[in-house]
Amino acid sequence: MGNSRFWLILALLAGGGWLFHQNYQIARFEGGLQIIRRTVPADTANDAHRVPASASRQTIRIASLNAHVLGRSKLEKSQAINVLCRLIRRYDIIAIQDIRARTDDVIPRLIEMVNLDNREFDYVIGPRVGRASDLQQFAFLFDRNTVEVDRHQLYVVNDPDDLLQYEPLVAWFRVRGPPSDEAFTFSLVNTRVDPSRPLPELNKLDDVYRAVLRDGRQEDDVLLLGDFGADDKNLGELGSMADLYAVISQIPSNTERTQQLDNVLFEHRSTREFTGQGGCFDFLREYNLSMQEALEVSTHLPVWAEFSIYEGGTPGKVAGKNRPLR
């Protein structure tokens, strides 16, 4: 009888623990540890972000999100930050714009919450850029199991004539898994244009693209991604580049689905690793949120694109241009 009661109690405790994990998680906020309810169950079968897209080891997904005033106050909004963490986990790399905080703990704390779900994300972040009244930071958040970054190659684009409101942040990545001389390598240019005057800045971003191509890395796969403040048919001189490919074409990328602002851009003939898959992730509808709940997360949707893990899109192709990570 005693043994039966013991095993019954043990089963009840195990079941209770499983139900807790399915519906709640523990996160650290300003006032200490808090228990927050998950927006969807942890093990939902059709939740694509539970397993990274590269779990097959054949592709990776690269995304961008204007996080709309990501600072300490947003970290205290438990439902919004829970959704944001789930969005980040969908991708192998996500470029984040519009980080606004006077302290340097926002992204480390966000990464800590992302990794509560048994993930191993890390980040690199740039300095504050912009005018004194509107300083922002850009960052790249990435899954250490699927990609690696050269921290010595992180830099802000030089803008001596002060033509850009926010100087883009550049980082160089390599996919983990294939032999180093066959792995897909690429430079990402994290971009946000001045929303009040996008065209003059779009007319300079083609020069930014060429400058990154000539930055000494000898990398021919360069991706511009971020908030361009315009649709793919109105990119100014950037859009006039002969082989520029826009992953997002005539699809609204703001949360209210009224404007196309965000994109992933690259030269199609150089970046043959692109699989043809990409789009906007409408988290409002996918997570069954109200408009108010979604806008607490961001006024923008994540935009993303999928790429082969192999240089040139084909196993066995040697990427002779690669340099070792330092």
pLDDT at 25 > cutoff 70: no
Per-residue pLDDT, averaged over 234-251, amounts to: 97
Per-residue pLDDT, averaged over 13-17, amounts to: 59
Alpha-carbon gap, residue 294 to 282, rounded angstroms: 10
Give pLDDT, residue 16. 58
Per-residue pLDDT, averaged over 263-289, amounts to: 97
Up-side HSE of residue 245: CA atoms within 13 Å toward CB?
A: 18
Got the DSSP string for 251-269?
Answer: ---BTTSS---EEEEEETT
Amino acid at 262: D
The label of the residue with tokens 């191993």 reads: 120
Could you tell me the pTM of the whole model? 0.83
Give pLDDT, residue 307. 98
The angle that helices 106-114 and 78-89 make with each other, rounded to 10 degrees, is 70
pLDDT level of residue 33 (50, 70, 90 thresholds): very low
Tell me what the pLDDT averaged over the chain comes to: 87
First vs last C-alpha separation in the chain: 63
Determine the topology of domain 56-313 in CATH: Deoxyribonuclease I; Chain A (3.60.10)
List the structure tokens of 125. 């972040």
Per-residue pLDDT, averaged over 190-206, amounts to: 97
What pLDDT digit, counting tens, does each position of 113-163 carry?
999 999 999 999 999 999 888 999 999 999 999 999 999 999 999 999 999
The label of the residue with tokens 């859009």 reads: 239
What pLDDT digit, counting tens, does each position of 298-311 carry?
999 999 999 999 99
Give pLDDT, residue 314. 82
> Contact at 8 Å (CB) between 273 and 308?
yes
pLDDT at 42 > cutoff 60: no
Amino acid at 300: H
pLDDT at 89 > cutoff 70: yes
> Domain residue spans in the chain?
56-313
Phi, psi torsion values for 165, nearest 5 degrees: -65, -45
**Angle at CA of residue 61, ends 245 and 120, nearest 5°:** 150
Q: Regarding predicted confidence, which is higher, 39 or 116?
A: 116
**Angle at CA of residue 260, ends 86 and 270, nearest 5°:** 80
Alpha-carbon gap, residue 59 to 55, rounded angstroms: 8
Per-residue pLDDT, averaged over 62-74, amounts to: 97
